[in-house]
Amino acid sequence: MKNHLPVIHADNISLTFQTADGPVHALKDVSLTINQGDFVSFIGPSGCGKTTFLRTIAALETPTGGVLDVNGMTPDQARKARAYGYVFQAPGLYPWRTIAGNISLPLEIMGFAKADRKQRIARVLDLVELGGFGGKFPWQLSGGMQQRASIARALAFDADILLMDEPFGALDEIVRDRLNEALLELWRKTRKTIGFVTHSIPEAVYLSTKIVVMSPRPGRITKIIDSPLPAERPLEIRDTPEFIALAHEVREGLREGHGYD
Ligand SMILES: Nc1ncnc2c1ncn2[C@@H]1O[C@H](COP(=O)(O)OP(=O)(O)OP(=O)(O)O)[C@@H](O)[C@H]1O
């Protein structure tokens, strides 16, 4: 099913921010390999460096130590090669553009021809089950639909890697459940490699092939758990002993990291 090629490789990544209050060790000696087709969740308490690590992969931050390799390139080269799409916590759609217009914007900036843009927009709207909504404005859509539109926007230029920073954090649980199911389906269909930041243990366990538990001060990885769950995951899998055991293992990992002391 997966071909297990490493697409993201972090070797002893450190990132220290110099602040007025002294140095903040946002990441310390973070080493991780993400293989092609992996769904990797990053979980841990506030300030453990989840967002900073994702931003480092996306070349939005520069490590102060270590080596990071994305698709065999430096993060900056990978950014220029459009190796990934990035989904932020807030949908960030322009209210004066339609949904199709919002998805089109990065494609316009990248210089895709009009006919190509049209095709891509139709394809990604279908992928996130928003076919028929391209002509609507963001404010005409629910929060969950807006977030799906922002995922479509990140998928439109067909990068192999999708980086998602707590994309469903602001949504209520029922909508979140539905989007989790939809995201898994999308991942199965597209075989993308996904890096996903979350605060939710059930969300991490439900979605991931690999769960990375992090701890703050300094931000570091304390545990990496490979999921034994099958790729096919109906929501009811959350009631199975395997799921509950895995959630327990993640919770223990968080506790061992003393993150919630
Ligand atoms: N630009 C910056 N300048 C200074 N410190 C920063 C900067 N960005 C992040 N930090 C600090 O680095 C640490 C890690 O932050 P980060 O946002 O990566 O954590 P997080 O695990 O994503 O937290 P949250 O769950 O709250 O989003 C925190 O202590 C944060 O205050």
- CATH 3.40.50.300 at 1-83+160-261, yes or no: yes
Non-local (6+) Cβ contacts of 102 within 8 A are 93, 94, 138, 149, 153
Mean pLDDT value across residues 108-129: 92
- Tens digits of per-residue pLDDT, 193-228? 999 999 999 999 999 999 999 999 899 999 999 999
- Counting ligand 1 atoms within 8 A of each CB, the residue from 18, 28, 43, 46 with the most, and so the one to mutate, is 46
- Domain extents for the chain? 1-83+160-261, 91-158
- To test ligand 1's pocket by mutation, which of 30, 42, 51, 163 has the most ligand atoms within 8 angstroms of CB? 51
pLDDT in tens, 72-115: 999 999 999 889 999 988 888 999 999 999 999 999 998 999 99
What does the pLDDT read at residue 23? Answer: 92
Q: Would you place residue 231 in the very low, low, confident or very high pLDDT band (cuts 50, 70, 90)?
A: confident
Q: What is the pTM of this model?
A: 0.91
What is the secondary structure of 175-214 as a DSSP string? HHHHHHHHHHHHHHHH--EEEEEES-HHHHHHH-SEEEEE
For ligand 1, whether the C-beta of 19 sits within 6 Å is yes
pLDDT at 158 (0 to 100): 85
